[in-house]
Amino acid sequence: MEVTERFFGEIRGALLPVVPSEPPPPGLRSAGVLVPLRDSGGEITVTLARRTERVPHHKGQICFPGGSRDPGDRDLLATAMREAEEELGIRGGDVELLGAMEPVPTVTGFCIQPFVVRIPRDARFHLDGFEMAETFDAPLSAFTDFSRYRAAATTFLGKPYMVYFLDYDRFTIWGATARILHDLAELARRTGAPTR
């Protein structure tokens, strides 16, 4: 317990404060996602989901709960919280906001703002059957092993851009989700926060 509490304290200090969102780069749509972490018996785990084959975008891909900003959303945190409740049944009162990460532009036309949250160890999910096929928890230590990542270099918005891929269990995680995991792993490494 002491180790995991130290992790959450260290990672909170390394994350960005939650501030009003900047407009996305031209041509990109704003989106917000939650990056749910929890203490699973003394080990830090990340909750991920697999999208169904029925959704219009990113069919079957591994993702974080979240989506595009709606006109009625107060900000991107509100977007992420609304989507997390719709997709996985995560309620705002059940999460502890730890902070924000750097926005992630995607080649599919989004600028994603990740928000890192802590969820209860015993959190249960209620999936939207149209959008989400399943959820799973993966140890954060699987993503802090940088040898697991493969990368393809490209150019996006006029700058060099790395598209990351990695395998976990029976899943291939890639694109924005892999980039967010890579960024989170770098934050954890910089803080020296233990993940187990």
Cα 154–Cα 100–Cα 120 angle in degrees, nearest 5: 120
List per-block mean pLDDT (blocks of 10 residues) for the chain, which spans 196 residues. 84 92 88 96 94 79 95 95 95 94 90 97 91 95 94 84 92 95 93 74
- pLDDT at position 87 is 95
- Is residue 107 within 8 Å of residue 24, measured between CB atoms? no
- pLDDT at position 1 is 57
Residue 149, φ and ψ in degrees, nearest 5: -85, 140
**CA–CA distance, 155 with 70 (Å, rounded to integer):** 29
- pLDDT at position 21 is 81
Residue 83, φ and ψ in degrees, nearest 5: -65, -40
Domains in the chain, CATH or no CATH each: 2-191 (3.90.79.10)
**CA–CA distance, 185 with 85 (Å, rounded to integer):** 25
pTM to 2 decimal places: 0.93
- pLDDT at position 116 is 98
- Ramachandran category for residue 109: left, alpha or beta (phi over 0 → left; psi -120 to 50 → alpha): left
